[in-house]
Amino acid sequence: MELTLEANPGMAAIELDINDTASIQAAAQHLIAHYPELNVLINNAGIMLVEHLKARPDAVIVNVSSVLGFVPMAVTAVYSATKAALHSYTLSQRYLLRGHGVRLVEIAPPRVRTELLNSSEEERAIPLDQFISQAMKQFESGADEILVAPAEAMRANPGPNEHAWVSGFNDMIANGPAFG
């Protein structure tokens, strides 16, 4: 965390224990007290700050899911399931907050060349700068879902042919370089 803060002047961070309700509530109160103008939250669950955001102009909650929430990768089944749950949560949150001036955005990245799963040299992953550039264009356009190619095809996957699509995707992953 300290390296991230050093590399990004003006960025701040606080720690909390997600298993401790008091820690979560204290973190939310700290943010509201120290950053009363806060109007953007990037996270995986925005419950504790929602009331504050309802009162802020141009409020945005950005939930980072994954294309694996649409097309599960068998070797990361639990991760894929949690991202599918986050997608569902985002849809519900968007509905519940629609009349309160809070915009809900879901970013569902495809495989990006990062250190995650040793993907920095993976040819099937898109370059990080390309992902950031395309994602920011979509974000600025007002899109509710940020889907950088090939995420669009994976998002369109559910339906009668879903099983074949998921099997084909996992076959491609299994036949590529090993993870780890």
For 162-174, the pLDDT digits (tens) are: 888 888 888 988 8
According to the CATH classification, is domain 39-175 in 3.90.226.10? Answer: no
Beta bridge partners of 59: 102
- Kind of pairing between the strands at 40-43 and 102-107: unpaired
Say if CB 109 and CB 66 are below 8 A apart. yes
Q: Hey, where are the domains in the chain?
A: 1-36, 39-175
Q: Which residues contact 169 (CB under 8 A, 6 or more apart)?
A: 71, 73, 154
For 73-115, the pLDDT digits (tens) are: 999 899 999 999 999 999 999 999 989 999 999 999 998 988 7
d(CA 74, CA 179): 12
* H-run or E-run covering 145: strand 145-146
- DSSP character at residue 112: B
For 116-147, the pLDDT digits (tens) are: 766 777 788 899 999 999 999 999 999 999 99
pTM for this structure? 0.76
SS3 track for 70-104: CCCCHHHHHHHHHHHHHHHHHHHHHHHCCCCCEEE
